[in-house]
Amino acid sequence: MNKITVGENNSFKALELINDFGWLRAPELGVFIWHKSKLKTALSNAAELISKMKSEGLLIVRKLPKNSGFALMASERGALLLRENGIDAKSGKNIGGMVDGNWSAPTTWEHDLKACGLLARLSRTGYTILAERKIKRENPNLLKIPDGVFYKKGEDAVYWLEVENTRKSGKYMDDMVKSILSVERTYIKVSGLKVNVPIVAFESEVMDEKGYALNHSTRVTNALQRHALADFTINYLALAMRGVGVAGFTLYKKLIEADATNVLFHRIKFSDHGNGESVANINEFRFKIIKIGDKFKWRIKEFSGLDSSRVEQFTNLKRGMSDSFLSAKRECILAYRYATETEDMGMD
């Protein structure tokens, strides 16, 4: 078999993508390869390419449940072609299960399909994407593998993608939340990239296997609030589905208010000192909020027992100015926690 140059042949591109994801359907494969074409054209081109690759013995084709189309996997010959060109690859023959000649899809197939469908859509808008399987292969020491990574060249944001699809709880939810908070506070190194923005995707309306409505954003929000050391804003993607495929998505942001901050927020009471000034005391130091026009300036008036350099650093970082009284109060509390708690709150 003659070696080929990476990127010169659509069959090779298709095998690379299938190897990165483990398996793909024709619609998603078409979008990845012909991401600048109309969807109808991409699907038509994909069908023609798949027919050619099947005739060349490069693919294994398995029928997915729920009339969801076919899973395309690399055959032994397809994997060999990749290896001959320096790519770590193996056949997809062991993906799923086989009993008495009947193939069963992986238990995570719907979740996996949401992830690759979303990443395919993102590739159409100019994002470079990394698939979960590729990430796992290139980062063997990574404790938690994201469902994908995506970014635009020249931009600072590199996104850590989590796709919620089941009623995850316990260790699974804790591991996901810890990864999200690690990315939000600093970054996680993935395939040479500093992944610094967490984003969670979920089907906007879904029922679990028992018929109960699942509200993934509420569940994730609650878990993040329990574990977060400080307030932050999380990105959510609400997925619009067509059958089992991703037809589109809507981005929105949600403020995560840390439970540890909420406890103090409800406990501390400010008193009006006139002239637009409000004051509160806690543990031998004083918050002061001053209304200036339509803004609220806040500061720590007394530093007794506090690390003043850390308070001042936080004040400078946040500019000591908020758009509302409640927001100013919350910033005061974060400054207090930042200066007094030994655990790093991710402000440095």
Query: What is the mean pLDDT of each successive set of 10 residues along the chain, which is 348 residues long?
Result: 53 97 98 94 96 96 97 98 96 94 94 97 96 97 94 96 74 87 90 96 68 67 87 92 93 88 83 88 79 87 64 62 86 76 44
The pLDDT of residue 1 is 42
The reported pLDDT for the residue numbered 214 is 54
Query: Which of 191, 102, 212 shows the shortest CA–CA distance to 141?
Result: 191
d(CA 24, CA 17): 8
End-to-end CA distance of the chain: 55
Can you tell me which residue has the tokens 């024709």? 26
Residue tagged 């938690």 (tokens): 144
CATH number, domain 109-257: 3.40.1350
Check: CB of residue 259 under 8 Å from CB of residue 225: yes
- pTM for the model: 0.78
d(CA 89, CA 92): 9
Domain ranges of the chain: 10-104, 109-257, 260-340
Q: Which residue has the tokens 């799923």?
A: 96
CA distance 232 to 1: 54
The whole-number pLDDT of residue 209 equals 52
Using the structure block, give the residue that is written with the tokens 């990394």: 130
- Cα-Cα-Cα-Cα dihedral sign, residues 338, 344, 346, 348: positive
Distance CA 272, CA 35 (A): 59
